[in-house]
Structure 1
C-alpha cells in the first residue's frame, strides 16, 4: 500500500492518495503522522483519493479495525473528510465505512468526482 499526503496551505486542506492494498499498520502510522504534524492542525480537513485502492481484500471487520485506529487518535476529531472512489464497488465499501464510523465524530462524505469532493470539502471553510 502506498499513502501519499500533500498539505495545501492556500486551501488549508490535506490531500491524500491511497493505492494498492490497504495495510492497517501503515494506516495507523500515517494517521499518527497527520496528527503529529506541525504543518497543520491534527483535525485538518482532508480529501482521500482511493481511486487506485484495491478493494478486493477489504471486509466489514477490516473496516471496523480501521475505525478503531481512527478512534485511537481523538485529536484528529472532528474532521471534515471527503472520499473519492472509482466505481460502484468503491462507493459501496466507502459508504459502509461511513456508516460504521458515524460515532467517530467526523463529517465524512463519499464522492465519485474529485472536483465535487473538493468543492464540498472547501465550502465549509470559506
Structure 2
C-alpha cells in the first residue's frame, strides 16, 4: 500500500512540474533569432513575466539592442481596441519585463528590436485565460 501511495505522489509531482512550464516561442526578426518565454502557460489576466533572448546570425547573444513589446487586442462589438507597450530591461544577456493583460482572449504581440539604428520586428499571438 505504501508503495502505491509513494508512486502516486511521484507521478502527481512530476506531472505538475511538466505542466508548470511557461509559454515559449521562437521566431526570426530580420537576421536575428528571438526566443520569447512567458512565466505562465497559458498567459493569465494581470502581470505576466516575460524574458526575451536575442541572438545574431552567428548564434551570439545580442546585448546592445533596445527591445520593446507592443501587445494589442482588436476592437470587438461594444469594446474599443486595446494597445499597450512594455520596454524590456537587459539583465544577464536577456531582456526582461512584464506584460499586463487586461482581458482574456487572443492578443497580438509584436517584438521590436532596435540595434544600430535599424528596427526589426516579429509577431506572435497569445491566448490569455
TM over 0.5: no
TM-score, reference length from structure 1:
0.29
TM-score, reference length from structure 2:
0.29
Looking at secondary structure, tell me which structure has more strand per residue.
2
When Rg is computed on C-alpha atoms for both structures, the one with the higher figure is 2
